Chain A
Amino acid sequence: MSAPEMIDAKAQRSLTSRQMAMYRFTRNPAALIGALIVVSVVIAAIFAPWLAPSPESAGSFVDFRNRHMAPSWDNVMGTDNVGRDIFSRVLFGYRVSLGLVVGVLGVAVPLGVVLGLVAGYFGGWTETIVMRFTDIMLALPPLAMALAITAVLSPNLVNAMIAITLLWWTWHTRLIYRIVKAQMNEDYVEAAKLAGASHFHIMFRELLPNCISAIAVKISLDAGFVILFGASLSFLGLGIQPPTPDLGTMVATGAEYMPEMWWQAVMPGLAILYAILGFNLLGDGLRDMLDVEL
């Protein structure tokens, strides 16, 4: 045992692991900033109707007198080609983005985790079938796949969600599979088997708790990527359709007025950057805090 580990082990006796994790987290300014950003994005999304200076901009509202207005005190992010307040639309855009995140990860994570647990725990043919299928899914180029799916199913929010979900679970399966495989060598798994524990008990009571921190980190890192992926689909016109305010669609529409009316593309772009940065910083901070490898 090397010296730093020895000291850690000693320190653990006086500090609880939660205290140590919090210590690591609070000593990490990036993680704190990330957490603040994520909280601000979530608040913006939930309270968009009350926070937005002009809530009607979220819909198919038109105000041609005020179109193409540069950022000012009245419209902090300017207005778009039909005179809607971009800031208000960004706030509502976060609603759509977070809805996408919850929808996608809410299905993909449990699915991926269960498949990973089953493959890693049972091994043999189960493992071969699940993991090879996962490999095949991973071999498909994700954006092309999502484009194909939404194109076939007609582009809208739900179909974009389905398309992303179908591709997303694979990463969780592989992550959990790898952790479970390593844990299977630990004696506690054999001890549980000898104690007569059911397969369900070993998978969900013994193995799953050892995967939780990795899942938490992966989810927070994923959230950013799901937002980005959704925005990419919308940008290509195959995601969320107007007039629903979506950050990707807004960038796409605004791009037509570049570079003179730059704010129409840049402001929603910055909003995407802000949210993704927040989730990534938070994810990195959680990773250091919970000490997991991905």
Chain B
Amino acid sequence: MSEPLLDIRNLTIGFRAYGQYRRVLHDVSLSVGQGERVSLIGQSGSGKTVTMRTIIGTLPMPPGEVESGSIQYDRSSLLDLNKIERNKLKGTGISIVLQDPMLSFNPVLTIGRQMDDIVRYGDARLGQSRSRDARRRHIIDTLDKVQLSDGDRILDSYPMMLSGGMRQRVLIGMALLNKPRLLIADEPGTALDVTTQDEILALLNRLVAQEGLSLLLITHNLGVVREMADRIYVMDKGRIVEHGTREAIFNAPQDDYTKRLMAAVPPLYGPDVVTITNDKTAPKPAIAIEAVSKDFTSRSGIFNQHKTEHRAVDSVSINVAQGDIFGLAGESGSGKTTLAKMTLGLIDPTEGRIEIDGQDVGQTRGTADFRKLIQIVYQNPGSSLNPRRTITDQIAVPLKFTGHESTRIKTRVCELLEMVDLPADMANMYPHELSGGQKQRVAIARALSVNPRILVLDEPTSALDVLVQSTVIDLLHRLRAEFDLTYLFISHDLSLMRNFCNRVGVMLRGQIVEEGPVADVFGTPQHAYTRALLSAIPVTTDAAEALKPKVSKEERGAVLNRSTAIGG
């Protein structure tokens, strides 16, 4: 292969903070060839974002310091360029697609204004200028490339008027405006639903091929990498632990870390899939949801005179048997969280009734008996734990309000910490002193403190890295066996659900479109939406890819919102 477009050699970077120096990148070498797709994978905190920021020159220095190493881009050394020369490369040489399509826009300016600025400044850096109309034509052409055909309307819209998928497309379009040669994509589409993410990845792949771009993809998702990379670099704790072609890494990983990473990803199909069963037979269901609906009313107008009803949950009926791990799958806005909140008695259903262990939620909620029956583990332990209270204080809250004596509470807290495999000396720490996985264990301990029979798990692992996720999932399995628990598991991660649950229900716009044992729903999905959802999931092996259900374009179009048109 000819000379690489981007060549990082032995880059070592450190940060100076609070009088301490710590190295975050150790001797990192990485290259991207002309027209090549390269992926950098690693867990949060592995240093991949620091690497990216150093390439594009937005790493704050100080506190950042480049100790040694070089970055060559197209025969010039990026670290030695002066500010003006380096700025010339921004957008025109190297361009970036950021992770969050909402935070990347200024909410008070139209899309057109923001894109026009990019073209104008890009032109100015290159010493050229174009008329306003010429710029607009160029922008609309670029939007066409990212399959946004309604260019004029999009340019006059504000960011909040577009869907997440469209914003991500506009963001990619922005990156392409000044015809870069290297595109850096930082976790593209991870903030979006899986079906939209699938479209975005396909789009990126097509653009790279059509425009002859080089792509540096930064991600933690191995499935995405398999679809998007020719070569792969694996990063751990600031070091490149392994690199090679996609085939080499996926088929024969050498490094221990890579192997562990691969093993931790729950498989969607194939021989490694674990099927959980529930062999308990109990006469009455743990949770019985009967024809439950929920309407939300939003008011608008100066005197709140206009009422708009929005049906979040539409006559849903589910029975969760004792000992089940029932998975509630669906994309954002499908109503799964609303359903969970009604189950917990936090909001009232508009119609229908929910029974927990044979008792009506409407009547028993708020009582100590109800709290001893059902508890919840939230998605983000950063938010569900009070940052200003110690671990003991937080775990003790449910105990205190179910009439435990204060002397008993202390021993119970120690017991609970042991149950979730946390050392007892964490009892007096504050949440910020714990890692994400440890925090989630504390949240689980708190939920279990009053010995509930049912746990609602609201995406309990989605904020965690995949290696940590697998340990938390193992813990949940163990606790279920030990304490006879029933789980209602809410998630959008179907791969995880396949291996964690014994029954699943798939929600679409407030309705359950398909429900049944995992093996059936994943093996022979009946509803077009389930098939569309499953086929969009990035998997890590070719075998799994072949086993994914096929879905025709028409079917997809019928069940999914398109991310390419306004109001679609």
* Pair from one complex: yes
Q: Is the CB of B18 within 8 A of A20?
A: yes
- Name the A residues within 8 Å of B18 (CB-CB): 11, 15, 19-20, 23
Q: How many residues of A contact B (CB 8 A)?
A: 37
Q: Is the CB of A196 within 8 A of B401?
A: yes
Taking a contact as CB atoms closer than 8 A, the residue among B346, B384, B398, B402 that contacts A188 in the complex is B384
Taking a contact as CB atoms closer than 8 A, the residue among B63, B389, B393, B402 that contacts A4 in the complex is B63
In the complex, what distance in Å separates the CA atom of A110 from the CA atom of B346? 31
- Name the B residues within 8 Å of A15 (CB-CB): 18, 20
Q: Is A201 part of the contact surface with B, judged by Cβ < 8 Å?
A: yes
Closest to A24 in B: B18
Q: Is the CB of B64 within 8 A of A3?
A: yes
Taking a contact as CB atoms closer than 8 A, the residue among B17, B45, B64, B401 that contacts A195 in the complex is B401
Give residues 24-59 of B contacting A (CB, 8 Å). 24, 44-45, 49-50, 53, 59
Given known contacts A3-B50, A23-B18, A209-B388, is B446 in contact with A10 (CB within 8 Å)? Answer: no
A15, A196, A201, A212 — most chain B CB neighbours (10 Å)? A196
**How far apart are B450's CB and chain A's nearest CB, in angstroms?**
8
In the complex, what distance in Å separates the CA atom of A23 from the CA atom of B64? 19
**How far apart are B255's CB and chain A's nearest CB, in angstroms?**
23
Q: Is the CB of B17 within 8 A of A188?
A: no
Q: Is the CB of A187 within 8 A of B383?
A: yes
In the complex, what distance in Å separates the CA atom of A198 from the CA atom of B368? 12
In the complex, what distance in Å separates the CA atom of A174 from the CA atom of B250? 57
Chain A 184-195 per-residue mask, 1 if CB under 8 angstroms from chain B, else 0: 001110111111
Q: Is B320 part of the contact surface with A, judged by Cβ < 8 Å?
A: no
Q: Is the CB of B433 within 8 A of A16?
A: yes
Stretch at the interface among B161-169, B374-382, B472-480, B484-492: B374-382
- Name the A residues within 8 Å of B389 (CB-CB): 205-206, 209
- Name the A residues within 8 Å of B63 (CB-CB): 4, 7
Q: Is the CB of B60 within 8 A of A188?
A: no
Closest to A26 in B: B19
Q: Is B385 part of the contact surface with A, judged by Cβ < 8 Å?
A: yes
Q: Is the CB of B388 within 8 A of A195?
A: no
In terms of DSSP, what is the predominant structure of the interface of chain A? helix
In the complex, what distance in Å separates the CA atom of A196 from the CA atom of B344? 12
Q: Is the CB of B430 within 8 A of A17?
A: yes
In the complex, what distance in Å separates the CA atom of A198 from the CA atom of B402? 11
In the complex, what distance in Å separates the CA atom of A11 from the CA atom of B22? 9
In the complex, what distance in Å separates the CA atom of A2 from the CA atom of B64? 13
Q: Is B386 part of the contact surface with A, judged by Cβ < 8 Å?
A: yes
Given known contacts A3-B50, A7-B15, is B433 in contact with A190 (CB within 8 Å)? Answer: no
Given known contacts A194-B346, A201-B397, is B387 in contact with A8 (CB within 8 Å)? Answer: no
Q: Is the CB of B60 within 8 A of A4?
A: yes
Q: Is the CB of B433 within 8 A of A6?
A: no
Q: Is B259 part of the contact surface with A, judged by Cβ < 8 Å?
A: no
Given known contacts A194-B346, A194-B375, A194-B376, is B401 in contact with A210 (CB within 8 Å)? Answer: no
- Name the B residues within 8 Å of A210 (CB-CB): 386-388
Q: How many residues of B contact A (CB 8 A)?
A: 47
**How far apart are A59's CB and chain B's nearest CB, in angstroms?**
48
Q: Is B371 part of the contact surface with A, judged by Cβ < 8 Å?
A: yes
Q: Is A40 part of the contact surface with B, judged by Cβ < 8 Å?
A: no
B17, B344, B385, B433 — most chain A CB neighbours (10 Å)? B17
**How far apart are B59's CB and chain A's nearest CB, in angstroms?**
6
Q: Is A65 part of the contact surface with B, judged by Cβ < 8 Å?
A: no
Give residues 1-55 of A contacting B (CB, 8 Å). 1-4, 6-17, 19-20, 23
Q: Is the CB of A194 within 8 A of B344?
A: yes
Q: Is A197 part of the contact surface with B, judged by Cβ < 8 Å?
A: yes
Give residues 374-431 of B contacting A (CB, 8 Å). 375-376, 378-380, 383-389, 393-394, 397-398, 400-402, 430
Given known contacts A12-B433, A186-B383, is B49 in contact with A1 (CB within 8 Å)? Answer: yes
Q: Is the CB of B388 within 8 A of A6?
A: no
Q: Is the CB of A191 within 8 A of B384?
A: yes
- Name the B residues within 8 Å of A11 (CB-CB): 17-18, 20, 22
Give residues 511-555 of B contacting A (CB, 8 Å). none
**How far apart are A118's CB and chain B's nearest CB, in angstroms?**
19
Q: Is the CB of B19 within 8 A of A23?
A: yes
Q: Is the CB of A12 within 8 A of B432?
A: yes
Closest to A17 in B: B432
In the complex, what distance in Å separates the CA atom of A201 from the CA atom of B366? 15
Q: Is the CB of A190 within 8 A of B346?
A: yes
- Name the B residues within 8 Å of A16 (CB-CB): 433
- Name the A residues within 8 Å of B45 (CB-CB): 6, 9-10
Closest to B16 in A: A7
Q: Is the CB of B383 within 8 A of A188?
A: yes
In the complex, what distance in Å separates the CA atom of A206 from the CA atom of B398? 13
Q: Is the CB of A195 within 8 A of B446?
A: yes
Closest to A211 in B: B388
Given known contacts A191-B446, A195-B371, is B388 in contact with A212 (CB within 8 Å)? Answer: yes
In the complex, what distance in Å separates the CA atom of A55 from the CA atom of B22? 58
- Name the B residues within 8 Å of A188 (CB-CB): 383-386, 394
**How far apart are A46's CB and chain B's nearest CB, in angstroms?**
32
- Name the B residues within 8 Å of A209 (CB-CB): 386, 388-389
A20, A23, A191 — most chain B CB neighbours (10 Å)? A191
- Name the B residues within 8 Å of A6 (CB-CB): 44-45, 49-50
In the complex, what distance in Å separates the CA atom of A100 from the CA atom of B318? 65
- Name the A residues within 8 Å of B53 (CB-CB): 3
Q: Is the CB of B49 within 8 A of A3?
A: yes
- Name the B residues within 8 Å of A1 (CB-CB): 44, 49
In the complex, what distance in Å separates the CA atom of A3 from the CA atom of B14? 11
Give residues 430-485 of B contacting A (CB, 8 Å). 430, 432-433, 435, 443, 446, 450
In the complex, what distance in Å separates the CA atom of A125 from the CA atom of B368? 28
**How far apart are A147's CB and chain B's nearest CB, in angstroms?**
39
**How far apart are B42's CB and chain A's nearest CB, in angstroms?**
12
In the complex, what distance in Å separates the CA atom of A198 from the CA atom of B398? 11
Closest to B399 in A: A195
- Name the A residues within 8 Å of B435 (CB-CB): 13
- Name the B residues within 8 Å of A10 (CB-CB): 22, 24, 45
Q: Is the CB of A195 within 8 A of B49?
A: no
Q: Is the CB of A196 within 8 A of B398?
A: yes
Closest to A189 in B: B386
Give residues 139-162 of B contacting A (CB, 8 Å). none
Known: A12-B432, A20-B18; 10 extra A-B contacts, CB below 8 A, are A1-B49, A6-B44, A6-B50, A11-B17, A12-B433, A186-B386, A188-B394, A194-B344, A196-B371, A210-B386
Measured CB to CB, the residues of A under 8 A from B are 1-4, 6-17, 19-20, 23, 186-188, 190-198, 201, 205-206, 209-210, 212
Would you list the 5 A-B pairs with minimal beta carbon distance, nearest first?
A209-B388, A196-B401, A195-B398, A187-B384, A188-B386
Measured CB to CB, the residues of B under 8 A from A are 15, 17-20, 22, 24, 44-45, 49-50, 53, 59-60, 63-64, 344, 346, 366, 368, 371, 375-376, 378-380, 383-389, 393-394, 397-398, 400-402, 430, 432-433, 435, 443, 446, 450
14 residue pairs of the A-B complex, CB under 8 angstroms, read A3-B49, A9-B45, A11-B17, A187-B379, A191-B443, A192-B397, A194-B375, A195-B371, A195-B398, A195-B401, A195-B446, A201-B397, A205-B393, A210-B386
